[in-house]
Structure 1
Amino acid sequence: MKTVLHKAASRGHANHGWLESYHTFSFANYYNPQRIHFGALRVLNDDKVSAGMGFGKHPHDNMEIISIPLSGELEHKDSMGNVAVIKAGEVQVMSAGSGIYHSEFNKREDKEVRFLQIWVFSNKKNVTPRYDQISIKEIAKDNAFYQILSPNSDDQGVWIYQDAWFHLGKFEAGKSDTYEFKKKGNGLYVFVLEGQVEVEGQVLDRRDGLGVWDADQLTVKASADSEVLLMEVPMTV
């Protein structure tokens, strides 16, 4: 088993007034040659957008873009004609494919929105762009990981053009779960949303990240009430 540890305080940070963002991997003005990506996981941004503010229309292509709201409401508009609001308990996915424009704004005028913006390299180029969002409240489990993303359109959660699987888990202190890798050769990025957990002897606090590869399974044990996101991705792109 091989690992790489990214402590929360080591992330890149940008504060634009209306937007405060922490970058686990190189992004925009934050560049760290040792932190370009983890396999197919290219971007992991922890964003906070002020009330009534947001990202104007901008382009993407050949990237799988996943948004996971943590609090507040985020309004999405795109060049395919989609207009939607996503909030905590939902997951949004966009396959940018051959090219798409979209904007994201805080729907609320009285409350900030916090969300994770995640980019994963696509395994198919120039596909027809697509958009989807789902509620994950009905599939959520206590003290166990549950799948929110996969490569399969008929599987639980949203799907993307990549051999990747995302799982979420909320754990009470002292509880644990063992994750079995879905595909040989993949790596797993563990990101602690809240609390503190122990992963194979490594203590991870809020917003810490741990990349693991050359492994078949991984046990996560909560030292306190915790919420954890697991992102399994190919290690080669």
Structure 2
Amino acid sequence: MITVRLAEDRGRADFGWLDSRHTFSFGSYYDPEHMGFSALRVINDDKVAPGAGFDTHGHKDMEIISLVTEGEIEHKDSMGNVQRLPAGEFQLMSAGKGVFHSEYNASKEKPLRFLQIWIVPEQTGGKPGYQQKDFGRAPGLTPIVTPDGANGTLQVKQQASLFQLLLPPEGHHDMRLNPARRYYVHMVTGQLRAGEHTLQAGDGAAIEQHDSLSFVQQGGEQAMALIFELP
């Protein structure tokens, strides 16, 4: 079964300095039919005005993944990390028993756009952690996040994995799935056909009880999707 969530059906919060689209219920947006999918709790598509950002705030018992698609994040946290996250790099912050951080648009002239993703951890508490890495732009499927951090991936405290799928014009990828697991696809850029469904930027698809799925690039620009494997 594949259930598509169109970009235009997402929730929205517009504060002037921040324009955010919510795939799942978040903040003032509440929809009991969209509270997350398996351990995947949040996918927010955030646009931040130049020089603006999120003041220091706290998180607890959450695995928080960020991917900048335009601009650069200036990050500071209570673990002592002072980092910049440019477009294309992945960041994973394990909140554990508690962490404070701030995120700002590093530019005073250009907008920032990034995906903020939350995954519920398998166990609560524990020591907070920070990871950041650029996995490149190789066509095809690239593992980004895994439960064991194998082969240089970022390690998440959940039986979940995240893959980056990049397909050039006329490209395709056949992915083997475990029918006992659940999968979620989030389109970042471009257009793909996933099985019988066409997905465009911002669309999502929840996938259950499939042993394989074919992805075919549609359109003239490179397509990028994030694929989550979930318990």
How far apart are 1:170 and its partner, in Å?
1.9
Out of 208-217 and 29-38, give the one that drifted further: 208-217
Question: Contact conserved, 2:141 with 2:163, CA < 8 A, in 1?
Answer: yes
Gaps of 5+ in 2: none
Alignment partner, residue 82 of structure 1: 81
Match of 2:115 in 1: 116
Looking at structure 2, the residues matched to 157 and 68 of structure 1 have their Cα atoms a distance apart, in angstroms, of: 15
In structure 1, C-alpha distance between the alignment counterparts of 2:112 and 2:21, rounded to whole Å: 14
In structure 2, C-alpha distance between the alignment counterparts of 1:170 and 1:203, rounded to whole Å: 16
Kindly tell me the number of residue pairs found equivalent between the two proteins: 229
For residues 103 and 84 of structure 2, what CA distance do their matches in structure 1 show? 9
- Contact 1:150-1:156 at 8 Å conserved across structures: no
Question: How far apart are residue 184 of structure 1 and its match?
Answer: 5.5
Q: How does 1:36-55 map to 2 (within 5 A)?
A: 36-55=35-54
Call closer, same or farther: CA 1:184–1:122 in 2, change over 3 Å: farther
- Choose from 225, 228, 231 the match for 1:228: 225
Alignment partner, residue 90 of structure 2: 91
Please tell me the residue identity of whatever aligns with 2:197: Q
The alignment partner of 1:145 has SS state of strand
Secondary structure of 2:97's counterpart equals coil
SS of residue in 2 equivalent to 1:155:
helix
- 3-state SS of 1:174 partner: coil
Corresponding position of 2:150: 154
Deviation at 1:195, TM superposition (A): 1.5
Question: Cα deviations across residues 155-183 of structure 1 (Å, max 9, x unaligned)?
Answer: 332111011111112212221102223x6
The runs of at least 4 consecutive aligned structure 1 residues that moved more than 3 Å come to: none
Matches of 2:225 and 2:171, distance apart in 1: 12
Partner SS state of residue 91, structure 1? strand
Tell me if the contact between 1:76 and 1:83 (Cα under 8 Å) persists in the aligned partners: yes
Identical pairs, percent: 38
Instruction: State the Cα RMSD in Å.
Output: 1.2
Query: For 1:157 and 1:19, how far apart are their aligned partners in 2?
Result: 30
1:54 Cα shift? 0.3
Counterpart of 2:132?
133
Where do residues 6-25 of structure 1 align in structure 2 (5 Å cutoff)?
A: 6-25=5-24
Report if aligned partners of 1:40, 1:121 keep a CA contact under 8 Å in 2.
yes
Counterpart amino acid of 1:231? F
Q: Could you say what secondary structure the match of 1:163 adopts?
A: coil
| TM-score between the two structures when normalised by the length of structure 1 | 0.93
Match of 1:186 among 177, 181, 193: 181
Cα distance in 2, alignment partners of residues 75 and 85 from structure 1:
5
For residue 161 of structure 1, what is the amino acid of its counterpart? K
| 1:64–1:160 contact (8 Å) kept in structure 2 | yes
Q: In 2, Cα distance between the equivalents of 1:23 and 1:59?
A: 20
